[in-house]
Structure 1
Amino acid sequence: MSGEGNAASYFVDRHLVEGRGDHCAFREAGGRKRQISYAELADLSARTAGAFERAHVPREARALMLVLDQIEFPQIFWGALKAGVVPVPLNTLLATDVYELILRDSRATILFVSEELWPVVAPATKSAPDLKQIVVIADQAPDGTQSFADFMDGAGPVDTAACSEDEIAFWLYSSGSTGQPKGVRHVHGALKATSDTYGAHVLGIVPQDVIFSAAKLFFAYGLGNGMTFPMSVGATAILYNGRPTPDTVMDVINAEKPTIFCGVPTLYAATVMHLDHHEKPDAPLRRCISAGEALPMDVGKAWEAIWGVEILDGVGSTEMLHIFLSNAPGDVLYGSSGIAVPGYELRLVDEDGNDAAPGDIGELLVRGASAADGYWNKRGKSRSTFEGEWTRTGDKYEITADGRYIYCGRTDDMFKVSGIWVSPFEVEQALGSHPCVLEAAVVPAQDDSGLDKPKAFVVLKDTEGSDALSQELKDLVKERAGKWKYPRWIEFRNDLPKTATGKIQRFKLRGE
């Protein structure tokens, strides 16, 4: 088997050698319902590598992928790796000006884009001086572009390029919960590191599994769930290119019968409410996982009551590629993020860099083989985030006496009231325990004396906001979280600002 050190050898080509070539690798839900076996993927990705070579895309050049969750995604991603080209999957929900920024920042020479996304990115391509070729996944290519079929037509397969496991394999742009996205560079060995740790020891995925990730392939959590974890064992992944709402997700689960489901807290909360009025699909779910933001305790308990399957809430990051802190099967404590995933080490440090004691709040640092090589063209940020073998997460946690980690909030979101740290998540979780509350976000706001006090933005389920409900929620927080932590102001909203990955953008609520 060629391609020593190349992640594509392990995740794609190995399955032919080990007799799993006829196993279904990917199956599309809805629409055309196409599917592809491991043998077909090995051949098509090798031919895609040949197409890169024929198009004179040099090794280490960046290939941007604005591609929906469809069969072409893994074909292009693994084809690029086989050619030594660096694929850069992009968030499919960004605005034109952000795509323009990324095109210029990455200096990509080739762009792959799904037909549905072309109108948004097309204006951005006009001011991308390094972009030489645009390939649109469509029957009819727009003017000035090439169709994916024409890009592939007649391209012969090439051998998987050999490389070092430490060589840059792909980039991901951070989701940007604060500020502009940053290019995060990952090496070939990082992909296997996540499947050997979380995939094997927490998810426990096996070849017979069918996995459906509502979280999309374009960001780290979805890339592991929907591609590298199933491909590490020869399992099947369901690809859904639509918007993951409770309706659509339940339809996919009902039709495709996954054994593993991967979601985010916002979707779990909305689906629990949805299932109050709709029949639960018949599906053989054996494992559910969550990441992106901390899972509220009441949402986890409600989901488990409905399905009989616990949610394994965990914490990961674009910089670490996937989850490094998680609850484990049979050892779930809702309201906590669990313990270190086997293969990772964690530290909790105070503002002076000293280890935080149980009951104290500190910033979480992580050490593991999946850490990124750094940010593209942001040396200062790389140096402040990647401290030797340790990566600063920017998350504040409390560690309990028995070693579990309790999420408190992003470092930038924490604030003090009467000299005591307040965790926005703790207050949000208390608010979320009320039966009328769908979700909440808490930020600091100044009172008449110029002192910081909690302010809450609350989204309700099936009721209207009122002064009486506002007071009821304040009393609930006093009871559950502490008298000084209650929100002095409560504003009822129809929705909250979020990133495409479901993270609440609290910075947009400050000052409102």
Structure 2
Amino acid sequence: MNAPDPTGAHTGAHAGAGVGPGGLAVLHGPALGALPVDTLPRALRRAARTPHGMLLLDAQGRPAARSYAALHEDALRALAALNAAEVPPGARVVVQTEHSGDLLTAFWACVLGGMVPLPVAHDGGRAALVEAADAVGQGWLLGDTVHEPPPSLRRLGPVHGLAGHGRARPAPVSADALALLSLTSGSGGRPKAVALTHRQILSRAHATALARGLDSTTRSLNWMPLHHISGIVMFHVRDVFLGCHQVHADTAWVRADPLRWLDVAEAERIDTTWAPNHAFALLVEALERGRGAGRSWDLSRLRYLMNGGQAVKDRTARRFVAALAPHGLPPACVHPGWGMPETASGVVDSVFTCGEGPPRRHVPVGVPHPGVSVRVVDEDERPLAAGTVGRLQVRGAPVADTYLQGGSLSPVPRSGDGWLVTDDLAFVAGGELTVTGRADGLIEVDGAFFHGHEIEEAVEELPCVRPSFTVACAGADSAGADSAGADSAGGGGVAVFFCPRPGVPPRQAEAAVREQVGLRFGAGHVHAEALAEHELPRTATGKLRRSVLTARLLSARERGHRERKA
């Protein structure tokens, strides 16, 4: 595979971070030290003694304030109802509700009772329940879902119905007991859940607080779903740990008008927030198309604006910083980062700097947080030299030990010497980690290798293409190329699905995309397909689901073969 040019990496490591000996691709975060509290119940009780809490904005943007003391009290009352229903400590409880406040009550009721919650998407319907049941085996279902649960889940009813049983006493829990389950998907596609302990979750919270100077004066904003690891752990639990003011806005409400992200940030005096790269692109597009005309925001308080969860694109980040500079956005507030559910969310980050010249192919994601180490290895799991692309591995205090699948715990994949094996490719240069993309996302074009997000970025430079609605994947063989040089469904080395801008004829846009990919990457066969926005499926955090569109491509190819045989 072609190694990326590492010369675009920049420095800015946390004090105390270390690089492996002999120029090897190994980075160590500083020491973590002792945790101020080592279980989630202790963190909530500590937060309940502060005057702070949270603000929840619903699907219409309506606010509901709630102190940590009220959250603690509500959770204890809900726990009393769970105890009355004879849900035992250690039970696996699937939570599915459309109300953020109810989800948090249920989450903390389970945590205080020594039960292990698994939040799932409300809009995932029964399919989400089936996935959850496949992961947990025998369990309980709590929430307002109208869907019939699988037989292995015992229904408890809606969260707001957990009343009238008084106030329970918390169950004793240890730091190394399981505290949360978070769904992911295995390489074979069978649902599994990352199993995180109290210590792992709080180690991640403590580490990011140390790395970025977060404390009880922090004011944070999250608008990703609370059932997702980023919403519940990276923000909510971290902020309970800090005892700071936190705001959670409904995802669809913000996505319908990305400028609401700025509205809430200004109104709530936010200094810490985050979003995946595609959200940065949507906001910039809204500004460039005049939706913010006549409006102004004071963004001078923002100092920790994380960009993670998907590939960070240099061009998008530069445009974001430039577009919001007139509104007081500090130039060093954007922080590219990396993490995964198995690391209790983000554990590596950096400070984005707008370099001169053409956009970098890859943006560094920085150095490990305290208590975390990363390395890049070859096929024999030996650390590579700095600047060489290989497989990323991670170890440290926040790293999960087990998955729950089919009701049984199984170990996460580890190297012979104990490092978590990831599916990401990366390199180390300039004392920082750069993640280039997933190993299964490489696309070969005439002997050269590119990640899908690189092709997507080039496509979205076209004025006829809407940003953040493009998916590139490997095409099938080139035998299906039609006489015009464009591929029939499924043929070709590269396939691109995208959303054209309003008013642009789809066939015209497809021709422009084929030309762009051919010129930029040397692809002789490009299958370009214009789709409507609703035909491009997304994950909970808004990432486009490449696997679904790849399956669509293969299905179209097989259908074409059958038709030709007929």
Q: Which TM-score applies when normalising by structure 2?
A: 0.76
2:401 maps to amino acid: D
In structure 2, how many angstroms separate the alpha carbons of the residues matched to 1:354 and 1:393? 15
Task: Name which of structure 1's ranges 462-471 and 309-318 shifts more when overlaid on structure 2.
Answer: 462-471
1:506 alignment partner in structure 2 = 546
1:271 matched to which residue of 2? 283
| Alpha-carbon distance change, 509 to 32 in structure 1, aligned in 2, over 3 angstroms | closer
CA 460–359 in structure 1, closer or farther in 2 if over 3 Å, else same: farther
Task: Please state whether the residue corresponding to 1:88 is helix, strand or coil.
Answer: strand
Cα displacement string for residues 425-476 of structure 1 (whole angstroms, at most 9, x for unaligned residues): 2222232334443132221123436997222223333452577765655665
Give 1:67 deviation, angstroms: 2.7
What is the aligned counterpart of 1:243 among 252, 257, 260? 252
What's the CA shift for 1:282? 2.6
- Which digits, 9 at most, give the CA deviation of each residue in 1:228-280, with x for residues without a partner? 12212211222334514444453364254333332222222222212222125
- 2:367 & 2:523 partners in 1: Cα distance? 29
Q: Which whole-Å CA distance do the structure 1 matches of 2:37 and 2:244 have between them? A: 23
Distance 1:26 1:271 in 2: 23
How much has 1:9 moved relative to structure 2? 0.4
Structure 2 equivalent of residue 141 of structure 1: none
Q: CA distance change for structure 1 residues 418 and 357 in 2, over 3 Å: closer, same or farther? A: farther
1:6 and 1:82 in contact (8 A); partners too: no
Once the two structures are superposed, what CA deviation does each residue of 1:167-193 show, in whole Å capped at 9, x if it has no partner?
A: 111111116798343121110111211
> Residues 268 and 303 of structure 1 are in contact (CA less than 8 Å); yes or no, is this contact kept in structure 2?
yes
Change (3 A) 1:205 1:184: same
Aligned equivalent of 1:196, options 193, 206, 210: 206
Distance apart, 1:164 and its partner CA: 2.2
Counterpart in the other structure of 1:142: none
Distance 2:239 2:37 in 1: 21
The answer to whether structure 1 residue 157 and structure 2 residue 168 are counterparts is yes
Q: CA deviation at 1:66?
A: 0.9
Q: 1:15 aligns with which of 31, 47, 54?
A: 47
SS in 2 for 1:56: coil
Structure 2 CA distance for partners of 1:444 and 1:459, relative to 1, 3 Å = same
Q: Which position in structure 2 is the counterpart of 1:488? A: 526
When residues 260 and 249 of structure 1 are mapped into structure 2, their CA distance, relative to the original with a 3 A threshold, is farther
Q: Could you tell me which of 295, 315, 319 is aligned with 1:298?
A: 315
1:314 corresponds, among 318, 332, 337, to 337
- 1:458 is the counterpart of 2:498: yes
1:409 to 433, 437, 443: 437
Q: State the partner residue of 1:394.
A: 423
Q: What residue number does 2:22 align with?
A: none
* Residues 1:136 and 2:158 aligned together: yes
Give the distance between the partners of 1:59 and 1:6, measured in 2 at CA.
15
**Per-residue deviation, residues 316-340 of structure 1 (Å, max 9, x unmatched):** 2111111123223769997414223
Q: CA deviation at 1:307?
A: 2.1
- Secondary structure at 2:499's aligned position in 1? strand
**CA offsets per residue over residues 20-54 of structure 1, 9 Å max, x none?**
1x223344455653221122222222333333222
Partner Cα distance (2:407, 2:375) in 1:
24
- Of residues 196, 216, 220 in structure 2, which corresponds to 1:207? 216
Matches within 5 A, 1:424-463: 424-437=452-465, 438-439=467-468, 440-448=470-478, 453-462=493-502
Aligned residue number for residue 561 of structure 2: none
* Matched positions, count: 482
Distance in structure 2 (CA, Å) of the matches to 1:392 and 1:382? 15
1:262 aligned onto 2:274: yes
Contact 2:179 2:197 in 1 (8 A): yes
**C-alpha deviations, 1:465-510, integer Å up to 9, x for none?**
5777656556655776xx4468633333334332222232222233
In 2, Cα distance between the equivalents of 1:130 and 1:458?
A: 39
1:217–1:226 contact (8 Å) kept in structure 2: no
1:341 to 365, 368, 371: 368
Q: Distance in 2 between matches of 1:104 and 1:468?
A: 45
Distance of aligned partners of 1:178 and 1:223 in 2 relative to their CA distance in 1, 3 Å threshold:
farther
- Identify unmatched segments of 5+ residues in structure 1: 138-147
Alignment partners' CA distance in 2, 1:394 and 1:377: 19
Q: 1:462 to 1:289 in 2, by over 3 A?
A: farther
The CA deviation string for residues 60-85 of structure 1, in whole angstroms up to 9 with x for no partner, is 00111113452222222122111111
Higher relative contact order (CA 8 A, sep 6+): 2
Residue deviations 1:365-393 (CA, integer Å, cap 9, x gap): 11121112311136999556234632122
Instruction: State the distance in 1 between where 2:408 and 2:446 align.
Output: 34
TM-score normalised per structure 1:
0.83
Task: Go from structure 1 to structure 2 and tell me whether the alpha carbon gap of 1:413 and 1:201 turns closer, same or farther (over 3 Å shift).
Answer: same
